């Protein structure tokens, strides 16, 4: 029987391949966010947090013999491990007066403040996903004001599409405690203290300054 001493992004993706699941299906199977699975594909050498190691251990232990056999084949031939799907991420820049909405993500070994975001399934509209994911993550209702453009994200390698949104209603709360540590309205004047300016897509800063 195969034994995994310590899970990495690479071996987690091998388990995904052995289970024959898409990124979305694997995330649902584990009870985590799809963005975590995408991060494993983008950073195969990263070691997940301790609680995620335990979750992967449990998933592997409960897998049938056929899955463990396929995992063994993949582990001996890493070049055939599943590749990340071509994914688009919808990112919502939600403004409320002189404030913008941020979420504090739990990384593998650190925390980082980001704009609310969600994965777009094939055929899904970026604007709709941005609005839906913002509400799912934070409880905030918003409406898209304008689309700001897209880029290949320099860290994750996925296609990131950005939309500027207006706050409508709802109290900002952390509704995704697995992925996020906190949610907060941040003054525009202090935004770059939370997210360094060189990591922010330039049209975001231009749009916020204009507003």
Give pLDDT, residue 73: 81
Does the pLDDT at position 158 exceed 60? Answer: yes
Which residues constitute the domain of residue 202? Answer: 88-210
Give pLDDT, residue 113: 93
Looking at the structure of the chain, the number of domains it has is 2
86 pLDDT tier (thresholds 50, 70, 90): low
Say yes or no: 64 and 148 in one domain.
Answer: no
Residues 168-182 pLDDT 10s: 999 999 998 888 899
Cβ neighbours of residue 3 closer than 8 Å, sequence gap 6 or more: none
Does the pLDDT at position 1 exceed 60? Answer: no
Letter string b/e over residues 29-39, b meaning 16 or more CB atoms within 10 A of that residue's CB: ebebbbbbbbb
Give pLDDT, residue 69: 86
Most confidently modeled range among 12-16, 109-113, 150-154:
12-16
Say yes or no: 54 and 95 in one domain.
Answer: no
Over residues 78-101, the mean pLDDT reads 76
Say yes or no: 69 and 173 in one domain.
Answer: no
Give percent of the chain above pLDDT 90: 45
Does the pLDDT at position 77 exceed 80? Answer: no
Say yes or no: 28 and 129 in one domain.
Answer: no
84 pLDDT tier (thresholds 50, 70, 90): very low
Give pLDDT, residue 126: 92
Does the pLDDT at position 32 exceed 70? Answer: yes
**Residue 4 falls within a domain, yes or no?**
no
Say yes or no: 129 and 112 in one domain.
Answer: yes
Cβ neighbours of residue 42 closer than 8 Å, sequence gap 6 or more: 9, 84, 155, 156, 157, 158
Say yes or no: 49 and 109 in one domain.
Answer: no
Q: How many CB atoms lie within 10 A of CB 162?
A: 24
In angstroms, the CA 27 to CA 192 distance is 31
Which of the listed residues 31, 61, 80 is the one where a domain comes to its end? Answer: 80
Which of these, 101, 96, 87, 84, lies nearest to 186 by C-alpha position?
A: 101
Give pLDDT, residue 2: 59
Does the pLDDT at position 117 exceed 50? Answer: yes
Which of the listed residues 63, 80, 97 is the one where a domain comes to its end? Answer: 80
**Residue 3 falls within a domain, yes or no?**
no
């Amino acid at each position: 029987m195969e034994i995994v001493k310590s899970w990495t992004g690479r071996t987690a993706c091998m388990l995904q391949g052995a289970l024959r699941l898409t990124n979305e299906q694997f995330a649902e199977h584990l009870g985590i966010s799809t963005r975590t699975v995408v991060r494993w594909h983008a950073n195969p050498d990263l070691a997940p947090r301790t609680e995620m190691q335990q979750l992967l251990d449990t998933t592997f232990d409960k897998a049938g013999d056929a899955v463990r056999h396929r995992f063994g084949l993949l582990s001996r031939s890493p070049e055939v491990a599943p590749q990340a799907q071509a994914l688009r991420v919808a990112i919502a820049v939600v403004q409320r007066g002189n404030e913008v909405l941020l979420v504090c993500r739990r990384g593998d070994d650190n925390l980082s403040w980001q704009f609310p975001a969600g994965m777009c399934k094939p055929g899904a509209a970026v604007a709709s996903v941005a609005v839906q994911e913002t509400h799912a993550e934070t409880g905030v209702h918003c409406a898209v004001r304008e689309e700001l453009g897209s880029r290949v994200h320099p860290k994750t390698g996925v296609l990131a599409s950005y939309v500027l949104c207006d706050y409508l209603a709802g109290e900002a709360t952390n509704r995704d405690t697995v992925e996020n540590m906190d949610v907060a309205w941040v003054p525009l004047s202090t935004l770059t203290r939370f997210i360094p300016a060189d990591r922010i897509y330039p049209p975001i800063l231009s749009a916020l300054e204009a507003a």
